Amino acid sequence: MTERTLVLIKPDGVERGLTGEILRRIEAKGYIITELAKRQASPDQLAAHYAEHEGKPFYQPLVDFMLSGPIVAAVVEGDEVIKGFRSLAGATDPSTAAPGTIRGDLGRDWGEKVQKNLVHGSDSVDSAEREIGIWFS
């Protein structure tokens, strides 16, 4: 089924010049980038985006990191793209993410810096629609 997902290239990906490489992998898989924008995230956008993690010990370091530099936000469309992009991204922790994935091939930070894992991808149809509304309204 055709779906939409919200992809964020986090500040580490933008700063390291990996925007093109990450978008290349998305397009090479056959997904369509329907919206694309480089942004400085606001605290309000991040509070909404990461509401499910509020109160967890990693919440504030995660938000601070996401405010540390520009991000690239994209709406990506394709058959089963929500699950499919998370598969391209790989496991949350770049130290164990599989080779061939964005985090496994390109991620250089883990442990207490695991928030620097290059990308975000929505995890369900509901969260995708909610997140797209935060970044593209």
Is 103 annotated to bind a ligand? Reply is: yes
Smallest gap from Cβ 58 to ligand DAT, in A, equals: 3
Is 16 annotated to bind a ligand? Reply is: no
Smallest gap from Cβ 103 to ligand DAT, in A, equals: 8
- Taking the C-alpha atoms of residue 82 and residue 70, their distance in angstroms, rounded to an integer, is 23
- Taking the C-alpha atoms of residue 67 and residue 14, their distance in angstroms, rounded to an integer, is 13
3-state DSSP call for residue 26?
A: helix
Contact segment (CB under 6 A) with ligand DAT among 20-28, 33-41, 110-118, 125-133 equals 110-118
Choose, by CB under 6 A, the member of 48, 104, 114, 136 that binds ligand DAT: 114
Q: Under a CB-based contact definition with an 8 Å cutoff, are residues 89 and 18 in contact? A: no
Choose, by CB under 6 A, the member of 68, 87, 92, 95 that binds ligand DAT: 92
Q: Any contact of residue 62 with ligand DAT (CB under 6 A)?
A: yes
- Taking the C-alpha atoms of residue 91 and residue 110, their distance in angstroms, rounded to an integer, is 12
Nearest to 31 by CA among 90, 80, 102: 80
The answer to whether residue 120 is catalytic is yes
Which pair of structure tokens corresponds to residue 43? 């605290």
Binding site for ligand DAT (CB under 6 A): 53, 58, 62, 92, 114-115, 117, 120, 123
Catalytic positions: 120
